[in-house]
């Protein structure tokens, strides 16, 4: 196999595996809520507790030749980090209390379309024809899937609240993506992720200490720590580095396209591990959402 193709294959494999591991997050959270008595904030705190040492280690190793940032840029980095890993994650965990993992992943995958809309409104970037088609497809897909879930679960308490929380999560994550795109050139992707994780973890820990006693995190049952470990390592640290490795080899546009396997992976895992029903409207909605993401990815690739 020529070196060029072997590098591309490795990049594809890393990205594919990273995307699948990222999609396990919703499954682990749903299993935790079903099997142990824990609130979303405590579960999120455990996740960050296990993930943080790895990001600190990477930051220490890569700190040499660090780019100097202005006070305003540091503030922007902190705000973006809080949006991406604190606010967005907290909304996501809370929303998963009320809706299925499959629907959560589909609503969350609206974030590429929100990135387009934010850039259009804030930075006056014109929405192209292909982007309009992509937006129509993604929102139609979510609407179709939501209608199917509504018929199955609308009588469940908190169904509408759960959908709203994940919708807000998608918006805050889109804000994180827009902000990261402007800050990563100043710091590099690895350092940016580590700095953003530090800022978010500080916000999560402060929030936790305002709601709980610090000792409560030490005295939690071993089973709680197991879920925190799985969330921190399997669904956070490992996929983040796998995706970074894939991006280095095949580029961010190809990574964005391959990552669209996420909703499919979540739906299959939710059916296998959680016993969630797979219905035709969910499958059709998934196809439309992925089609929209592929069009957005192709548009970026053509533009570059």
- Residue range 41-58, pLDDT digits in tens: 999 999 999 999 998 998
Q: Shortest CA distance to 267 belongs to which of 252, 285, 244, 249?
A: 285
Question: What are the tens digits of pLDDT across the range 116-152?
Answer: 888 888 887 787 777 788 778 888 888 887 777 777 6
Alpha helices by DSSP H, listed for 109-259, are 111-122, 129-153, 159-187, 189-211, 222-229, 238-250, 252-258
Task: Evaluate if residue 112 carries a pLDDT over 80.
Answer: no
Non-local CB neighbours of 62 within 8 Å, separated by 6+ positions? 188, 190, 191, 194
The percentage of residues in the chain with a pLDDT greater than 70, rounded to a whole number, is 88
Tell me if 297 sits within 8 A of 256, measured CB to CB.
yes
Note the Cα 217 to chain centre separation in Å: 25
Range with the poorest average pLDDT among 26-30, 238-242, 255-259, 298-302: 298-302
pTM of the model: 0.86
């Amino acid at each position: 196999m020529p070196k060029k193709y072997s590098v591309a294959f490795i990049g594809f494999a890393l990205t594919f595996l990273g995307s699948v591991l990222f999609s396990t997050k919703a499954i682990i959270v749903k299993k935790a809520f079903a099997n142990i008595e824990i609130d979303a904030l405590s579960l999120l705190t455990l996740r960050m507790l296990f993930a943080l040492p790895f990001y600190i280690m990477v930051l220490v190793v890569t700190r040499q030749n660090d780019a100097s940032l202005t006070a305003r840029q540091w503030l922007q980095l902190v705000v973006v980090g809080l949006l991406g890993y604190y606010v967005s994650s907290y909304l996501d965990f809370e929303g998963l209390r009320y809706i299925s993992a499959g629907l959560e992943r589909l609503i969350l995958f609206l974030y590429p379309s929100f990135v387009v809309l934010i850039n259009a409104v804030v930075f006056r970037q014109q929405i192209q024809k292909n982007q309009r088609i992509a937006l129509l497809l993604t929102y139609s897909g979510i609407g179709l899937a939501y209608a199917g879930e509504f018929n199955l679960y609308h009588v469940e308490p908190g169904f509408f609240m759960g959908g709203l929380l994940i919708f807000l999560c998608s918006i805050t994550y889109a804000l994180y993506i827009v902000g990261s795109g402007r800050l990563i050139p100043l710091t590099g992707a690895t350092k940016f992720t580590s700095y953003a994780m530090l800022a978010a973890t500080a916000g999560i820990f402060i929030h936790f200490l305002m709601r709980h006693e610090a000792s409560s995190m030490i005295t939690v049952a071993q089973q709680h720590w197991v879920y925190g470990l799985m969330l921190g390592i399997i669904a956070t640290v490992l996929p983040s580095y796998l995706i970074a490795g894939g991006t280095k080899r095949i580029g961010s546009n190809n990574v964005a396209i391959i990552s669209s396997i996420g909703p499919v992976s979540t739906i299959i895992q939710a059916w296998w591990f959680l016993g969630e029903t797979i219905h035709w409207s969910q499958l059709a909605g998934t196809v439309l959402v992925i089609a929209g993401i592929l069009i957005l990815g192709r548009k970026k690739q053509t533009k570059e």
